[in-house]
Every structure is written in structure tokens, then in C-alpha cells.
Amino acid sequence: MPDRVNLPAAFWSGVRAVGLTQSQVIAESRLPLSALDGARVVVSTDQLFDVWRAISALHPAPDVGLRFVRGMDTSQAHPIVLAAMQARSMREALTSLARYKQLCGGEVLRLNPSGADTAIEPEWPFATTAPPAAMVDATFASIIELGRRGTGTHLRPRRLALRCHRDADEARSSYFGVSIEFGAPCNALVLGSADLDLPFTMHNAELADILAPGLERQLADLHAAASTAHQVKQIVKRRLAASPVSVGSVAKDLGTSVRTLQRRITAEGTSFRRILDEARQELVRQYLADPEIGISEAAFLLGYQDANSFYRAFRSWEGTTPAHWRDARGTSH
């Protein structure tokens, strides 16, 4: 998916709900004029993070993300949210949301079943810094609001884990109805099987049948437009921390031969080695922006077994050492 996030009318209704205006937020976040496309605002992932940091700066209440979602005008919701609202159950709504989320760009919603529970883990693959806490709050609150409005019950998660440190825990605990695990390795909202199988009282099969074909066409067009190099880079990023990455392993994931994959990459004017370097360079910025990840751990997550190789590669990318890069951004321990 492209790193382009369209901020719809519903988003700006949330901004107004916390007492701010679109122009205030745009000015505070210092978005370039290129982000303004007529009445629309289209941003990259990093710019989206800047927008949320601007919201938090202009409205410093620690629960601003929760207030934002509670005040959003659902009549202006994006079609992917409308499609999820027509689902037959919470489980089906989440599956629909995860499938079509990529149409909005920038965010991936992973559903990880574990026994009777399912962990919902949002990821921003293009991000170079950690997501703002208020944005993570809003992401999880929007899922809970979907469930509460859809099922007509006061849906509560089994568990909520946040990477951020303790802050506004009373407001979060009150809203979600569960104690919060702070400083977690990843952001995760966990729902139990009984809640996932709750029926949606607003299920509308006719409206679902109208929305689904259009979303599927958009999804097919998106996949068709994705370059081979882009697909390879996403696979490399997923594989790096888990196992050695080779052109052969990536070709297997894509269901093609090594020769065919190399031919396609070459036709796009790049090489597997260059894609691997680009993937590592993008990931290392994300890792080093997180003070909880040590430099040695970052090297391991990038697939380096030799520290010297990692340091040489980093200097070639950034012109300095990992420690100096961190110090310059104030993200050291």
C-alpha cells in the first residue's frame, strides 16, 4: 500500500469535538502545502504522527485521543467503517476492518488469535518514529466504539497493553473498563471469544452487499498497482527479525521463481541487495527512535550477526554512528 493517508471528514469532526479547528491543527503540525488537495488533506505516516502531536500540544489533556473518538460524527465515517458496521458480528466487523484498512494507507490492523482470545495490533509500516500515545488511544477507542454501538453492549476488552509509559491511566481504565499494562513490547487490544461472537444489531445485509463490491475493486486495483520492489521490501521487513532473508525465501513467499523475481526487480531499476538495504535503513530509524530498543537489539532485529557490519552499514546510511543519531534526536536511554 502507498504511504498516503487521507484524513476524512470524520477525522476533522473529532478535531472539532476536542475544541480545535482544522486550520489550527494544520498550522501547528507544519504540514506542507502539498498535503492540501482541495478540501482533502493527504499526508504521509510521519505527517500523520505530526498531526496527532499537534492535537496533543493544542489540547494537552492526557485523554484527548479518547475524547476525540467519542465526539466523532459517525455519519461522516469512511466507507470501510460503514462496511464494518454492517457486519453480522464483532468478529466479522474486525475482519472487514483489517481487510480494507489498507485502502486508507499507512496503517495495518493485525488480528492475532491465541486460544479463545484475539489480539488486535495496529502497525504503521512506514513510520520512522513511535506512534503518538493519543493516536494509539484513538485507534483502540474507535474499535471499542464500533463494538459498543454495533452490539448495543458495553463491550470491554480482556486486556489492553500499551508501549507508552503510565499516563492518564485512570481515564483509560475508566473508558476501556480494564487495567492497563504500560511499557508493553507492542500495542495490543485483546478481546475474548464471547465478545467477538456478539451479534451486531445494526447488521444490514443489503447495505453490506452494496459496499463490499466497491471496496473489493479498490483493493484489487491497489494490489495490481503495487510494484514488485515494494512487495519484496514488505516481505523483507517482516522476515528480518525471524530468519535469514534471501532472494530465494522472498520468491517462495511471492509464489514465483528466483529467476522471475530477479527479472522483475531488475526491470524496475533496482536489485535485491538495494531493497534489503532500504528496508534495513527504514526499520533502523524506527527501532532507534524507540528508547526501549537497545542498539545491539536493533542490529539483531535487522538480521545482522556481526556488530561491525551493522555499524558500517549504519554509517553509510546516516553518516554517523547509531549512538550519535539517537543523541541528536533525544531518544537515548
- Full DSSP string of 12-35: HHHHHHTT--HHHHHHHHT--GGG
Average pLDDT over residues 141-169: 91
pLDDT of residue 96: 94
pLDDT of residue 38: 63
Average pLDDT over residues 112-131: 89
pLDDT of residue 52: 96
Q: How close are the terminal C-alpha atoms of the chain, in Å?
A: 33
Q: What's the predicted TM-score (pTM) here? A: 0.69
pLDDT of residue 104: 78
Query: Does residue 330 sit in helix, strand or coil?
Result: coil
pLDDT of residue 181: 92
d(CA 130, CA 126): 11
Beta pairing partners, 180 = 160
- Full DSSP string of 76-125: G--HHHHHHHTSSBHHHHHHHHHHHGGGTSS-EEEEEEETTEEEEEEE-T
Domains of the chain: 5-219 (3.90.1520), 227-329 (1.10.10.60)
pLDDT of residue 12: 93
Structure confidence at residue 39 as a pLDDT band (50, 70, 90):
low
Query: Does residue 8 sit in helix, strand or coil?
Result: coil
Number of residues that this document lists for the chain? 333
Buried b (16+ CB within 10 A) or exposed e, 320-332: eebeebbeeeebe
**Average pLDDT along the chain:** 88
pLDDT digits (tens, 9 = 90+) for 232-256: 988 898 888 777 889 999 998 888 8
pLDDT of residue 37: 65
Residues 6+ apart with CB under 8 A from 210: none
